[in-house]
Amino acid sequence: MSATKNQRVILVTGANKGIGLEVIRKFAKSSSYNNDIILLGTRDLKRGQDALKQLDSPLNVHLFQLDTSSSESISHAVDEIKHKYGGQLDILINNAAIWNEGSTVNEARELLQTNYYGLKLLNEQLFPLLRENGRVVNVSSSAGPWTLYGYSNELREKYLSPSLTIEELDRLIEDYISAIETYNLKTLGYESEIPISPYSFSKVVVDILTRIQARQWSGKKNITTYAVCPGFCSTDLNYRAPGSRSPELGADSILYVVETPQNELENGEFYRDGIKKPQSFQPDIDLGNLIEHVNKSKQS
């Protein structure tokens, strides 16, 4: 099943439901991808098989087992691309993520393991397999820029420093985790209009990682990297919150950076619904209802 020279290999992580599944559905329906190999990433094969059935098992969509929180699973996945798909990749959509309360250090670590560390490791390991003009899309959230907006000026400047390295970013993350344990987040400048949660924090650091990797990789095989907010969509992640839109629209927001010509996009930047947004901006939806809904759903 090695990919031919003209066939693209496209991987979407966490694609057995929600927005990721809608991205796959759009690939499967569009004639532009007929000739490509679409890998439906799923950590659980049974859930992946059910998703494939929902799509009527299109011939160009293949199940791809990958738990992004596990370095072992990431190694297996990289080997699979090497041995089964000709060692090439054209588009990587890092969509898998979890949400949890993150009130304890363990919860925060668990969340960051999937939402940040796993994504970073997968990008690092797959980068060598990306072909000329490859694209990496890190699915983020507006919760990232909204959260960064509330941080102290000093802290925000650290994150936005154009010379920040991944090692320095990782140290900031470890300091954040330690500060949860010692109740010191505010002292470090972690303040925000929206609740300070490790989920929102994970999206801040995914956006910053996107900038750093775009800088590191620019000029190498013309690979570009973008962060994208799919918008507020009705999925399991937010307990299908009222007022949220269809995950299909979220998929469109992601597909914008996949399909728009490279010269119309800015490498390393953050996009939502086809519009480049700043790395930090004031919340532009009413979060009160969402927070109330999530709290109620957790209790029931």
Q: Interface residues with ligand NAP (CB under 6 A)?
A: 13-14, 16-20, 43-44, 47, 66-69, 95-98, 114, 139, 141, 229-230, 232-233, 235-238, 244, 247
Chain centroid, CA 36 distance in Å: 22
Choice between 189 and 195, CB closer to ligand NAP:
195
Do 91 and 11 contact (CB within 8 A), yes or no?
Answer: yes
- Is-catalytic flag, 199? yes
Please give, one letter per residue, the 3-state secondary structure of 129-152: HEEEEEEEEEECCCHHHHHHHHCC
Candidate list 117, 151, 199, 256, residue with the active-site label? 199
Choice between 91 and 97, CB closer to ligand NAP:
97
Choice between 77 and 180, CB closer to ligand NAP:
77
Angstrom CA distances, 211 to 143, 172, 179, 207, 246, stand at 17, 16, 25, 7, 28
Angstrom CA distances, 136 to 75, 161, 209, 213, stand at 18, 22, 12, 10
Question: Kind of pairing, strands 89-94 and 61-65?
Answer: unpaired
Q: What distance in Å separates the CA atoms of residue 67 and residue 128, rounded to the nearest whole number?
A: 20
Choice between 10 and 237, CB closer to ligand NAP:
237
Which residue number is nearest to ligand NAP in terms of Cβ?
18
Choice between 69 and 210, CB closer to ligand NAP:
69
Place of tokens 């959509």: 93
Q: What is the dihedral of CA 229, 234, 237, 238, to 10 degrees?
A: 100
Do 200 and 192 contact (CB within 8 A), yes or no?
Answer: yes
DSSP-derived 3-state class of residue 229: strand
52 backbone dihedrals φ, ψ, rounded to 5°: -60, -40
Residue 42 Cβ vs ligand NAP, minimum distance, rounded to whole Å: 6
Residues identified as active-site: 199
